[in-house]
Amino acid sequence: MQNFDVVVIGGGPGGYVAAIRAAQLGFSTACIDGYVRNDKYSLGGTCLNVGCIPSKVLLQSSENYAELTHSFADHGISCENPQIDIKKMLARKEDIINKNANGISFLFKKNKITEIHGWASFKQADSGKYIISVDDKGIQQEISATHVIVATGSNSRHLPQLATDNINVLDNEGALDLNAVPKELCVIGAGVIGLEMGSVWSRVGAKVTVLEVMDKFLPAADEQAAKELHKNLLKQGLVIKNGVKIGEIKNGKKKVTINYEHNGEQHKLEADKLLVSIGRVPNTNGLNAEVVGLKLDERGFIVVDDECRTNLPNVWAIGDVVRGPMLAHKASEEGVIVAERIAGQHPHFDFNTVPWVIYTNPEIAWVGKTEQQLQAEGVAFKKGVASFMANGRALGLGNSVGFVKMLACEQTDRILGVHMVGPFVSELISEAVVAMEFMASSEDLARIIHAHPSLSEVTHEAALACDKRQLHG
């Protein structure tokens, strides 16, 4: 039996990063992962294989097509009868997935991490060691570990009354593998996956209707920012209905029929494809948590403290399988932090400075408190808002919708939240994250020189606006 200081269960963005950091710190480390794609084991978890990375690949491809067909004429660039090859678009996506998965394997070899494929489960705890059983397509092996990091991620939540076949009724995986553009796509759920994948297929010709149970659009985001995104998505042709009650759904041979109630009226929608994007659930099935007494909550999440420790000594859990936002970068940071805590270090993690991004066009990104949260908490604040409309770089890109909003404490001027809608705000939000981590004030950012012309100048203007001294607005 092989023995390791650290065994990581799960090779997604939390697990593989935890394994690399543990190995860097001198621990003998193994990472067990059972994800299979196209009949081959593929590291990277949901994020790389059927989530963050492939969705961004398709978003970029579809955006290029949309710009060619709608926007490039403004630049003096014309093309008669442009075509899109969906199979080639998907092949490019697969190539990028494979390159990244192979890259993780390379990093494992470089850091002398033992890569084990198969499905892992706890077998027993014995004299300070944990015995882990691994099922590799029917072939069994056992390994032991002093420390175990559970990073098994999450799975798509499905509608209880409807089977997901990934032919007509899709989850995120099926939405990434459509080999033709559906004439009509219905999306249930106006969250990250629903809006991003709805955008992909809308840009290349599908009529997309998004049905959302919640009364408000993107309630987790700042209300002003959410309204700006909503307005622009409607302009692009997406139909978005909030406050919907989903009724009977029938999966026919050629069409999916969705019955729903909206504003007190009954509706029936017939779609070629239905994407169900109603959230995700922790992937703890098959871990045999009960065998060793690993504590789960009523929703299936592994119970951890602020340091990602479980109720068992030397067993840790990170990422989507524990509390907190289901974000790949949150999982990766927790992976690093746990490895360092095993080594006796004391790293820092602040949930309030975790950035959020949705890669629609325009993009939306935020960090910290929303205006509505501060009002509910009775926190006195000031705000500065600056538009991309007056930004030379944004105008040159042909993408000048949106704004940056900065919220700062009225007494101390410390930045409490930053909310952005516009071009490449997924990149711009990092400045706000760094500022908040260093407890910066709006005055600090207002006094920093930003390159001209650049999109970051809008962040600078928002900081200036907190003190009512915006220069270009």
Positions marked catalytic: 452
Length reported for the chain: 473
Nearest to 116 by CA among 27, 39, 17, 9: 9
d(C-alpha 367, C-alpha 87), whole Å: 37
Region of 108 please: left (phi>0), alpha (psi -120 to 50) or beta: alpha
Under a CB-based contact definition with an 8 Å cutoff, are residues 307 and 341 in contact? yes
Under a CB-based contact definition with an 8 Å cutoff, are residues 210 and 190 in contact? yes
Alpha-carbon distance values, 420 to 44, 402, 406, 460, 464 (Å): 29, 7, 9, 13, 16
Under a CB-based contact definition with an 8 Å cutoff, are residues 243 and 263 in contact? yes
Exposure string for 75-108, b = 16+ CB within 10 A, e = fewer: eeeeeeeeebeeeebbebbbeebbebbeebbebb
d(C-alpha 18, C-alpha 151), whole Å: 9
Alpha-carbon distance values, 71 to 67, 77, 81, 98, 124 (Å): 5, 9, 14, 32, 61
Kindly report the CA angle at 9 between 8 and 10, in degrees rounded to 5?
105
Pairing of strands 169-170, 154-156: unpaired
Which amino acid appears at position 369 of this protein? K
d(C-alpha 83, C-alpha 184), whole Å: 19
d(C-alpha 117, C-alpha 11), whole Å: 9
